Amino acid sequence: MKNTTKLKNILQLYTVTLDLDDNNNNIQLTTTNKRNNSTTTFIDKAYSIVIGKAFSHMLKEIKKSEKNL
């Protein structure tokens, strides 16, 4: 799955903030859940990795919420 598709899916459930640290070494992606305002931050040197981590986290949260139904 391409990163743009992953980001589109993430944006359906989360508000996303992208930032670059002061040394321009790491990308920081922070997701804020639109339903309960919980936040999670992912940090890595590559954009594709932080998108992948956020997408994986989203899938785990969906699976966890389906289990609670």
Full-model pTM: 0.90
* Structure confidence by residue, pLDDT tens digits, 22-62: 888 999 999 999 999 999 999 999 999 999 999 999 999 99
* Structure confidence by residue, pLDDT tens digits, 10-26: 999 999 999 998 888 99
**2 — pLDDT class (breaks 50, 70, 90):** very high
The full set of domain ranges for the chain reads 3-67
Cα–Cα distance measured from residue 52 to residue 6, given in angstroms and rounded to the nearest whole number: 8
- The dihedrals phi and psi of 45, each to the nearest 5 degrees, come to -80, -20
Nearest to 43 by CA among 22, 59, 21, 62: 21
> What is the CATH number that goes with domain 3-67?
3.30.160
